[in-house]
Amino acid sequence: MDVTFAGAEQAFKAPAAGSETLDLAFLLHYSNSVSREDFQRILDFMKNILQYSDIDDDKLRVGAVVFRKRGIPLFDFNNYYSQEEVFGGIDQINYNYRSKTSSIASGFDTVRTSLFTRTGGEREPAPNLVILITDSNADTDDASELEGHDEQFHNDFVALRAKGFPVVIPALESSTSGTFAVSKQ
């Protein structure tokens, strides 16, 4: 499972500055070789990084697209307005979306045309953030590398809270990591 954070500092830093809301899209791809166990790990990872996000107060809206040859919207920003509903939507993502062929360009285009639109629930001037999760081009055969990376996302989200990112994790202790002030839990 390739999990790359290179360049993530800029991706998080730029859109979150000065905003109290965020529209977050998951862009997902599951290869034919992904096991049910790894598929579940990916769904759990999605929920883990949203665990402390402020969905219930409408500061964070979540959508999801899966891509194969074409992108397929799973749910947009108008579908779910509470953390419980978002987690239910994630749990409804079907294992049968696995695919041998994929087009990441088609996936991003579907996010752009189905989620990041007024009819898809995008809010002006809420920044847009896409989290791409795929098991393709993996250097291992499982998704166990995701373990611990949800904590990195949590830490990055906490760091951005001061800049307006809608997260409700209490910051207990701070240190500096790269250009982020990171909260340790």
Any domain includes 14: no
Any domain includes 13: no
CA–CA separation, 135 and 39 (whole Å): 9
Determine the distance from the C-alpha atom of residue 166 to the mean position of all C-alpha atoms in its chain, rounded to a whole number.
14
Any domain includes 4: no
pLDDT confidence of residue 100: 80
Any domain includes 104: yes
Range of the domain at 38: 21-184
pLDDT confidence of residue 118: 94
CA–CA separation, 114 and 103 (whole Å): 16
Query: Is the distance from CB of 88 to CB of 40 less than 8 angstroms?
Result: no
Look up residue 148 and give its amino acid. G
pLDDT confidence of residue 97: 84
pLDDT confidence of residue 163: 44
Give mean pLDDT in consecutive 10-residue pieces for the chain, a chain of 185 residues: 40 47 90 88 88 83 93 95 96 89 88 95 87 69 64 58 42 34 32
Q: How many domains does the chain have?
A: 1
List the CATH number of the domain containing 95.
Answer: 3.40.50.410
Pairing of strands 22-29, 173-177: unpaired
pLDDT confidence of residue 128: 85
Any domain includes 9: no
pLDDT confidence of residue 141: 53
Whole-prediction pTM value?
0.70
pLDDT confidence of residue 89: 97
Determine the distance from the C-alpha atom of residue 4 to the mean position of all C-alpha atoms in its chain, rounded to a whole number.
13
